Amino acid sequence: MKQAIRVVLFLLPLLVLGISRDRADATPTQCRQIRQVRRLAIQQGLDDENLATLEAQYCDTAQPSAVEMIPPPTASQECLDLTIMTRLARLSDGNNNLVRLVESQQQFACGLADTWGRAIIEYPNGQRAKIGDNWQYPNGQTAKFGAIWNYPNGQTAKIASRWYYPNGEIAKFGTRWSYPTGQAVNFENLVTWACSVINRDECASRLLALRNTNDFWSEIATLELAWQAYSQSIVGAGLVTQISFSPEVLRWEIPLSCSAFKP
């Protein structure tokens, strides 16, 4: 069986390259096929760097939307937990390999739920992923301990009714939202600001998952949207220290050393 899988793993890169010579031409179908083979390889203990690289090349432009990253009601607890971990890892960590390792476990758990339920689960790099009901990231950081969720950088993501951004600033407490700088804002203005920063199509896609409620998946989607906008604003205008919004004008106040970038 393993020999047959090795043949598939050897031929897969050739098949994909025969279909598309440029990763810009990659389709969701090709990405899905690669991930299916990698999931099988992980199951058989045959995952390797080549498959991870291939997945990165052909799936970077085919990432599922926030709406697609919501497990069905029938999903196993492992699928639910790993989906949350995948989204927190994507949101906060620039380490693509870490994200891929978590994502591969998530795909396996959600695609082959009947094979799960093990008390101890490991990533392909040997790091423990799950011990009992608690989860860890591939870098050893605690992902879930009890009802507390963390980012791969060690920062708390969610505890009770409080959400936090990867930089440690509070994102939501009860029904009150804040910008990633810590400045208080209502839900509508937070979303409006974020959509003024990110790509229009990306905003339209993310808005499908948003509702101004205490729904878990809507909250994490809102946090993702705000953090993406904040990250892009840092790249485009230096470190943002304060964000001001009014219906008439959107203004970023940034350090004096970056004043040349101020609108």
Tally of helices (H runs) and strands (E runs) in the chain: 8, 12
Taking residues 43-47, report their average pLDDT. Answer: 60
pLDDT band at 170 (very low <50, low <70, confident <90, very high): very high
d(CA 20, CA 83): 29
Single out the residue in 106, 134, 151 at which a domain terminates: 151
pLDDT above 70 as % of the chain: 60
> Between 175 and 56, where is the model more confident?
175
pLDDT at residue 185 greater than cutoff 90: yes
Question: What is the pTM for the complete model shown?
Answer: 0.67
Do 257 and 202 share a structural domain? Answer: yes
* Number of structural domains found in the chain: 3
Domain of residue 212 covers 160-261
Do 78 and 45 share a structural domain? Answer: no
Opening angle at CA 21, ends 19 and 23, nearest 5: 100
Do 168 and 122 share a structural domain? Answer: no
Do 125 and 103 share a structural domain? Answer: yes
Do 219 and 186 share a structural domain? Answer: yes
pLDDT at residue 126 greater than cutoff 60: yes
Does the residue 6 lie in any domain?
A: yes
Does the residue 244 lie in any domain?
A: yes
Do 44 and 109 share a structural domain? Answer: no
Single out the residue in 151, 179, 202 at which a domain terminates: 151
- Report the candidate in 157, 161, 173, 32 with the shortest Cα–Cα distance to residue 84: 157
For the chain, the straight-line distance linking the first and the last C-alpha, in angstroms and rounded, comes to 62
pLDDT at residue 175 greater than cutoff 80: yes
Does the residue 126 lie in any domain?
A: yes
Do 49 and 5 share a structural domain? Answer: yes
pLDDT at residue 122 greater than cutoff 60: yes
Do 84 and 36 share a structural domain? Answer: no
Alpha-carbon distances, residue 240 vs 10, 132, 192, 236, 252 (angstroms): 47, 41, 17, 10, 7
Could you give the count of Cα atoms lying within 13 Å of 137 in the half-sphere of its Cβ?
Answer: 26
Residue 252 pLDDT: 38
* Helices (H), ranges, the chain: 2-19, 28-43, 49-59, 77-92, 96-111, 187-197, 200-207, 216-237
The string of pLDDT tens digits covering residues 241-262 is 444 444 333 443 333 333 332 3
> Between 258 and 45, where is the model more confident?
45
pLDDT band at 48 (very low <50, low <70, confident <90, very high): low
Do 53 and 20 share a structural domain? Answer: yes
Does the residue 67 lie in any domain?
A: no
d(CA 152, CA 136): 9
Do 79 and 58 share a structural domain? Answer: no
Do 49 and 101 share a structural domain? Answer: no
Single out the residue in 14, 36, 62 at which a domain terminates: 62
> Between 212 and 174, where is the model more confident?
174
Burial class (CB in 10 A: 0-12, 13-18, 19+), 172: buried
Does the residue 68 lie in any domain?
A: no
Do 243 and 199 share a structural domain? Answer: yes
d(CA 196, CA 249): 11
